[in-house]
Chains A and B, each alone.
Chain A
Amino acid sequence: AQTVTQSQPEMSVQEAETVTLSCTYDTSESDYYLFWYKQPPSRQMILVIRQEAYKQQNATENRFSVNFQKAAKSFSLKISDSQLGDAAMYFCACCQGGSEKLVFGKGMKLTVNP
Chain B
Amino acid sequence: GAGVSQSPRYKVAKRGQDVALRCDPISGHVSLFWYQQALGQGPEFLTYFQNEAQLDKSGLPSDRFFAERPEGSVSTLKIQRTQQEDSAVYLCASSLATAEPGGEQYFGPGTRLTVT
Contact = CB atoms under 8 A, between A and B. Distances in A.
Interface of A: 4, 6, 32-33, 37, 43-47, 50, 52, 91, 93, 96, 99-107
Interface string B23-52: 000000001010100001111110010100
Interface of B: 3-4, 31, 33, 35, 40-45, 48, 50, 55-56, 59, 91, 93, 95, 97, 101-105, 107-110
A33 B97 CA distance: 13
Contacts, number: 60
B41 A46 contact: no
Main secondary structure of the interface of B (DSSP, over half): loop
A106 B42 contact: yes
Given A44-B108, A45-B107, A50-B102, A102 B3 contact: no
28 contacts: A6-B42, A32-B102, A33-B101, A33-B102, A43-B109, A44-B108, A44-B109, A44-B110, A45-B93, A50-B102, A93-B42, A96-B101, A96-B102, A96-B103, A99-B56, A100-B33, A100-B48, A100-B55, A100-B56, A100-B95, A100-B97, A101-B33, A101-B56, A101-B59, A102-B43, A102-B45, A104-B35, A106-B41
